[in-house]
Every structure is written in C-alpha cells, then in structure tokens.
Amino acid sequence: MSIEDPQYCGYVALVGRPNVGKSTLLNNLLGQKISITSRKPQTTRHRITGIDTRDQYQSIFVDTPGMHQTQTNAMNRYMNRAAASTIADVDVTVFIVDRLVWNEEDELVVKSLANAKSPIILVINKVDRIVEKNRLLPHIQTLATKFSWADILPISAKNGYNVDALRAAINKRLPAKPHFYDADQITDRSERFMAAELIREKLMRQCGDELPYQVAVEIEEYKLVNNIVHIHALIWVERDGQKKIIIGKSGEQIKSIGTDARKDIEIMTDSKVMLKLWVKVKSSWADDERMLKNLGFEE
C-alpha cells in the first residue's frame, strides 16, 4: 500500500443477546483470541475492543455484553447499558443471531437499534449446526422484514464460513479516515485486564453448571521481575458453597484452573508466568456499585 492510498477506519459494534457467538466471531475476525468464550451465556461482561488492520482498512471491533431482559442486579444493568451505549457511537453495527432462533431478547436488541445512525448488518451465526438446511432461506426472508438491514449474511464464526464476506461488507461501510492504531496493535485492553478475563474463562469452563454467574476475578498484583510475570489474583464468589466448588477436593480444581489460565497468559505475554489464586466470599458483590468499579465495570 502506498502513502497515496486512502485509509478507512471506523468502530464496529458486535451486538446480540447472550450466547450467540459474538466473542467467537471477534476472535475469528482478529485471527487470535482476545475475548473469552464459554458455552455459558453472559461470558462477556465488559466491552472488549479488538483492532483488525488489513491493508488500508482498520476495523475497531467492540465486543459488547449480551443484551438480556433480566436486570436483577447492578452488574446486569451495567451490561445492558454498555451494549446499548456502544450502538450509538459506532460506524457499523453487526447484529448476531443464533441459527433459526428469534426470540424476545432478539426483539429487545432490535428495539435498541431503532435510533442507530450506523448501517446494521444482520449475521445469522452457527449455520453449520443447522440440520434442516432448507429452512435457512425462509428464515432469512422472515428476518428481512424485521428491520432495514444493510446486509444479511449467514456465517459460522467457529469454522470461519463466510467471515471474509462479513469483513468485506464491513470494509465497504467504513468512513475514509486515518487509522487510529498502529497496524500491529490488536486490543486497547491491558495485559492485567486480559489476565483476569483468562482466569475467569477457565472458571466458567471447568466448573460448568455447578458454578453460577456470581464469580469475578480481581488482579491484586501484576508485575514483571527478571522476565517472569508474577500475578496474584482474587476469585470473588457469593457463597461458601461456591468457594468449595472452585477449590475442589484437596485443592485439585483450583490447581487445574490455575494451570490452564497460566498457559494462556504465557502465550499472551510471551513470558514465563507465576500465578497464584485465592478465593474469597462476598455476598451480593454483583449488586455492589463500589465493588463493580474496582472490578473494572466502568461507564
């Protein structure tokens, strides 16, 4: 690319109800993992920014928390506000739905898009998992009547089907602007933040349905000493029973969580990592505004 070539740059929101594959799509678009994933809804709690620079195009993706109807505590309300406010500030919005499903929470997202100024691309994700393929086209035709979409694309974020077509649809709608970030930067989040997220991912994956959503990770210490990253992390839960699940018999569960998280953090930092985990109980932390601020839940 020569200096004379125009550059295109803009913010792209990934929105949708919980568990439709927003984080998996972001990781696929970037070609590496920056947003944690699990099979449990509401895995993403924060707005995660991923930067994809290819030739003259730079898309700054914002992976938002899933929008949901229940707002039972301060954290749920924060997540809905974070997703809704992102829509107002971007150049392109990608609304993701799950296969042939369309429900009340999808309708909630559509209502939040009503005043959006950006073009909205509808993405039907996980089409590789549709058994009756002949149902897809009628479903697309039905969804076409729900909103004035800029595009409708069936994709599979997991295996990459049609992701390049989505990238092309986004690129042609980016405004002509100089790039905001260096070409080799992929996120604006700190390694400290990403370490907490990777630990939380292992918690959600390994503890399965035994562990409710009331779990959070706080990094107390993050420092580099003699080319080794030393991390002390607190795992917050709401009840003693949850603490016992995380620690496991003879401490085996928390050891396994720490081992898996350390491996991913070492890949991220390209350094040896010494990780220490503790579990603490604080009832109703998810409804404590001061606690949420300490955990990085900012407006």
Q: pLDDT, tens digit, for every residue of 48-100?
A: 788 999 999 999 998 776 554 555 555 555 555 655 566 777 899 999 999 99
Cα–Cα distance for residue pair 27/32, rounded to 1 Å: 5
Dihedral of alpha carbons 32, 34, 63, 283, sign = positive
pLDDT digits (tens, 9 = 90+) for 244-254: 999 999 999 99
pLDDT digits (tens, 9 = 90+) for 175-230: 999 999 999 898 888 889 889 989 988 988 888 666 656 688 889 999 999 999 99
Higher pLDDT, 218 or 162: 162
Q: Architecture of 191-294 per CATH? A: 2-Layer Sandwich (3.30)
Percent of the chain with pLDDT over 70: 79
Percent of the chain with pLDDT over 90: 53
Domain residue ranges in the chain: 8-171, 191-294
Cβ neighbour number for residue 138 with a 10 Å cutoff: 10
Cα–Cα distance for residue pair 39/213, rounded to 1 Å: 12
pLDDT computed for residue 35 by the predictor: 73
Higher pLDDT, 287 or 115: 115
Mean per-residue pLDDT of the chain: 85
As a whole number, mean pLDDT of residues 273-277 equals 97
8-171 CATH: 3.40.50.300
Cα–Cα distance for residue pair 76/38, rounded to 1 Å: 18
Tell whether pTM > 0.75: no
